Amino acid sequence: MFVCTLLTDPTVRNLEGALVESLRNAWGGGDAQWLSPDEAAEFSLAQLPANQWDVWADVQKMGVDLVIQPAEGRRKRMLIADMDSTMIQQECIDELADVAGVGDRVKDITACAMNGELDFEAAIRVRVCLLRDLPESVIGDVLATRITLMPGGPALLATMKAAGAYAALVSGGFTAFTAAVAGQLGFDENRANTLLVADGVLTGEVGMPILGQQAKVDALDQITARLGLVDADVLAVGDGANDLGMLRRAGMGVALHAKPSVAAQCDVRVNFGDLTALLFLQGYARSEFVGA
């Protein structure tokens, strides 16, 4: 059995009942269940529709996300998440670079790296080098004035944690940021790269080893082994090329507002919903959200 979930931007709430019923009838689905009025609904399917991706493309034009997945084991026991442009709305290194006066140069490199056009390790070295001599205190300033949580993140963490799930924040960014974001949202652990500092200023170097795509896969493997879980128990979410390894490995890998080249390689794509979409995809109704 499979489940088809339809959802939309919670600030717009433009999911029409007629669309849900039309698809349910066309695909011979079970009765529709509304997880949130005008925002998210689901129905069961006996088999995968042959025209799934054609319909997906059509409803995307309406501002609607459509995901079909196996019904069994949807509620996950572990969340592993990227940070930049996933749990927060910014790319931390771009914000630091903007303060340092090299914002445009670094943003271009970041965009290429996240789209898989540049080697991640080489790209991070070049970008961090451009931050040389930036006062360490700027990190705290950026956290306080420029970093905002992705909508839906607090509810996602609180709801999954209340259900007993473990949460890990694993980033190709920097520990100075992941520690703060993890603490704010309630992640159980965080892993990231380290910006090296000497005499109160950034040296322009990053600590070794550099955490890239493989490090995220390794984190998933290590944490599941430690907790006695398997890949199928894991929900992974990210947006960039360095997230693809963990997105493919996890039982549910969600490309959230992802770069086009990344989304094209993932079966679960959320382009309009916020992080609460990950709860709807697990079958949670909005009435079950914690702290929302």
Cite the active site residues: 82, 84
Q: Is omega for the bond preceding 151 within 30 degrees of 0, making it cis?
A: no
The candidate with the shortest Cα–Cα distance to 219, out of 256, 258, 166, is 166
**Is there a contact between 27 and 58 (Cβ–Cβ < 8 Å)?**
no
Whole-angstrom CA distances from 254 to 67, 86, 158, 244 are: 10, 10, 19, 10
The candidate with the shortest Cα–Cα distance to 254, out of 216, 220, 225, 281, is 281
- The pairing of strands 33-36 and 234-238 is unpaired
Buried b vs exposed e over 36-62: b needs ≥16 C-beta within 10 Å?
A: beebbbbbbbeeebeebeebbeebeee
The candidate with the shortest Cα–Cα distance to 32, out of 10, 66, 62, 4, is 4
CA dihedral 188, 217, 262, 204 (to 10 degrees): 80
Angstrom distance (rounded) from CA 168 to CA 236: 10
Angstrom distance (rounded) from CA 101 to CA 98: 5
